[in-house]
Amino acid sequence: MTGFPSKRANPNKIAIFENTICPDEEVGIDDLSIYVPDLFLSAAGEFSDLRGIDSAKLTRGIGIERMAIPDAHEDAATMAAMSLLELMQRNSLSPKEIGKIYIGTESGVDEAKAIGTYVIGMMEKIFGKGAFQDCCTVEFKSACIATTLALESMSFWAAAEEDDLVGVVIASDIAKYPLHSPGEYTQGAGSVSLLIKRRPRLISLEGNYGFFTRDENDFFRPIGECNAVVNGKHSNQCYLDAMQGAFDVFAKRSRKKGLIMPKTGECITDYVSHLIFHIPYPRMVEYAASAIFRHEWRGLPRWNAVEAEICEEPKAKAYANQDDFLAAEADFIKRFAKSSPFQEAFKAKVKDTTMISRQVGNIYTGSIYLGLASLIEQQKLKPGERVCFGAYGSGCSALVFSGLVQREASFIPLRDIEKKLNDRTQISLEEYEKLHEGKMGRSLFSPSQEFALVGIDRQGYRHYDYAE
């Protein structure tokens, strides 16, 4: 027993794949839940005006309309507990049924103590002291790829689990940058909890992973610092390089395992219905998709149609110096992103994944799973479709993997996320800045029916409670 689907070729391009009712050995994502703070800052209006930024650059250029802002009583631990509680309530799960809780975050609240222990402490305010003492928890840190690495690890545990226990993987983060910095408008906050088990109803993982890693300084947060250091353009390029490298490994292994066997003139993405990328901001997803499709299509008959429409792809040897080549390359990238073949593929396979992120902003490790939730809430997933995930973590690492949508997926209750996002409260720029700098003093709204940070003692230990 491998814990993953057996090797099989898929003769039908894109549409329905064989064996979508998963056998007992298959594992994957059974359900998910999302928690987003009740406060938001609009990207347009007061923020863009006082920052001297054209609002169209934010809402259309990078694709951010609203940024979720945590109140003074919220942190990564409370948000994780909130998404976990909803997941348990949605699925009538008792603590005894959960064997492991893995949490991916780069917003950890302690340098040593796992954030999951705080989360378990909060959950026991609801379920009783000691309710989770048989559960194992650990914290994953690897920038925005952490939750995906936790998912990979959890899937292997779930495949070998003999007592039919389930696992939960939680992403919980607060994306925070200095006031007035170039990264300020890509902030956000939230948590996503994934229920991992055998015989999943939503996504059955195919057990095929492509990795890429190298040492980079594109994004990092030194010990003791609250705000990350971002080298913007370099970070974007690292993202694209890593994603392409990981996708190449994924494609190679897909062929080797017989999971995807493209025919002449076809490529791996022809057998993928949805591509979900890490979403630091929605426009970055377009850049990633452009890089992958361009790389995949080059050399295929369809590439002739692309070049006929826009121009011939520049070749470095045709230019006298590197600067001229890079200028031509940048122009070609823009033209390719506007070409009809790319726009058709992007609209069909990628665009719908950004719906929630436009209203929430970046939530680091969970952003990629907001993409999955976006497809679910729009009812875009169909049984038998292949979903390909492209996770990225600054520093830098990428992981590409895939799964098949199960027949039961359409019967899982929706989460009414759009209504929840619309019901949030908009805050002023002054309120946002005070919360950002920790100068609010108290919460804008008293916590109600939620977990809350109620104090930090003189030793630095954090105390939480559930506010009725």
Query: What would the pLDDT profile of 206-225 be if each residue is shown by its tens digit?
Result: 999 999 999 999 999 999 88
Round to whole Å and give the CA distance between 268 and 250: 9
Strands 229-230 and 219-220: antiparallel
Q: What is the pLDDT of residue 21?
A: 41
Residue 378 pLDDT greater than 70, yes or no: yes
Q: What is the pLDDT of residue 227?
A: 85
What's this model's pTM, rounded to 2 decimal places? Answer: 0.94
Domain segments of the chain: what residues? 27-467
Q: What is the pLDDT of residue 370?
A: 98
Round to whole Å and give the CA distance between 243 and 38: 33
What pLDDT band is residue 22 in, cutting at 50, 70 and 90? very low
Strands 166-175 and 188-198: antiparallel
Percent with pLDDT over 70 in the chain = 95
Round to whole Å and give the CA distance between 270 and 388: 11
Residue 253 pLDDT greater than 50, yes or no: yes
Percent with pLDDT over 90 in the chain = 92
Residue 2 pLDDT greater than 80, yes or no: no
Residue 288 pLDDT greater than 50, yes or no: yes
466 sits in which H/E element: strand 462-467
Q: What is the pLDDT of residue 226?
A: 84
What pLDDT band is residue 18 in, cutting at 50, 70 and 90? very low
Mean pLDDT computed over 364-372: 98
Q: What is the pLDDT of residue 228?
A: 86
Question: End-to-end distance of the chain based on CA atoms, in angstroms?
Answer: 46
pLDDT tens profile 113-164: 999 999 999 999 999 999 999 999 999 999 999 999 999 999 999 999 989 9
Residue 19 pLDDT greater than 70, yes or no: no
Mean pLDDT computed over 172-180: 96
Round to whole Å and give the CA distance between 153 and 156: 6
Q: Which CATH class is domain 27-467?
A: alpha beta
Exposed e or buried b per residue across 142-164, where buried means at least 16 C-beta atoms within 10 angstroms of its C-beta: bbbbbbbbbbbbbbebbbebeee
What pLDDT band is residue 183 in, cutting at 50, 70 and 90? very high
Round to whole Å and give the CA distance between 154 and 445: 36
What pLDDT band is residue 24 in, cutting at 50, 70 and 90? low
Q: What is the pLDDT of residue 444?
A: 97
Q: What is the pLDDT of residue 25?
A: 76
Residue 320 pLDDT greater than 70, yes or no: yes
Q: What is the pLDDT of residue 229?
A: 87
Are 33 and 171 a contacting pair, CB within 8 Å? Answer: no
Tokens 């105390």 correspond to what residue?
A: 463
Residue 12 pLDDT greater than 80, yes or no: no
pLDDT tens profile 227-250: 888 888 899 999 999 999 999 999
pLDDT tens profile 40-84: 999 999 999 999 999 999 999 999 999 999 999 999 999 999 999
Q: Which of 145, 39, 185, 150 minimizes the C-alpha distance to 364?
A: 145
Mean pLDDT computed over 365-393: 98
Q: What is the pLDDT of residue 16?
A: 44
Mean pLDDT computed over every residue of the chain = 94
